[in-house]
Chains A and B, each alone.
Chain A
Amino acid sequence: AQTVTQSQPEMSVQEAETVTLSCTYDTSESDYYLFWYKQPPSRQMILVIRQEAYKQQNATENRFSVNFQKAAKSFSLKISDSQLGDAAMYFCAYRNNNNDMRFGAGTRLTVKP
């Protein structure tokens, strides 16, 4: 079974600084998709970034980028120029071709002004 591990329950970053959230996963499949979701206090899960496993190039969305290491089964999220609005729970998620989606336990990110 696929598992997703986020080893950092909490992280803190100073406003305008850079922070990296870690995620590892376990799978025997070669084709899958990885996502980072953000859940602010409003509870709405918002997609931050996605990565297709077959693509070697790391995905980037404005201040958000990933470091995807397929062999190491690692998928970290880097947030540059952190803003107060980035404070939220961040969930790493894995989705296979059968649409089975698994989430990590989440990392609570605090942004200090």
Chain B
Amino acid sequence: KAGVTQTPRYLIKTRGQQVTLSCSPISGHRSVSWYQQTPGQGLQFLFEYFSETQRNKGNFPGRFSGRQFSNSRSEMNVSTLELGDSALYLCASGQGKTTEAFFGQGTRLTVV
């Protein structure tokens, strides 16, 4: 079984731009969660989607949004990028509410 795939692996953007990150979950997994990892704040939960519906949301500004498609693939969008958005963005998929999350390798976003 293929694992969780995140694209792109690396991204450099300029302040004020927007960016879209993609996550393909493990086949059969309907839950996709997104996390931001920074040295200062650690791993922070962004949001979770299940069957195309946002089920949970972390404490991030509205510039951070996401969606999930009918094939469970998910995208995360960040608009009006700020320097502080530079981070490793991790996606995780799961089969249901309480199973463990399987992570992708992440997308390293650098905002200059």
Contacts and interface: CB of A to CB of B under 8 A. Distances in A.
B42 interface: yes
B68 to A, nearest CB: 14
A37 B90 CA distance: 13
Interface string B29-55: 001010100000011010010100001
Contacts of A47: 100-102
Contacts of A35: 100
A104 B45 CA distance: 12
Contacts, number: 51
A108 to B, nearest CB: 12
Contacts of A45: 90, 92, 103
B75 to A, nearest CB: 19
Given A33-B98, A103-B43, A106-B42, A43 B106 contact: yes
A95 B98 contact: yes
B105 interface: yes
A28 interface: no
A33 B96 CA distance: 13
A99 B48 contact: yes
Interface residues of A, number: 22
A95 B98 CA distance: 7
B42 A103 contact: yes
Given A43-B88, A101-B45, A102-B45, A50 B100 contact: yes
A99 B105 contact: no
A1 to B, nearest CB: 10
Contact of B56 (A43, A100, A104, A105): A100
Interface in A38-96: 42-47, 50, 91, 95
A30 interface: no
Interface of A: 33, 35, 37, 42-47, 50, 91, 95, 97-106
10 contacts: A35-B100, A95-B101, A99-B50, A99-B94, A100-B45, A101-B33, A101-B101, A103-B35, A106-B42, A106-B43
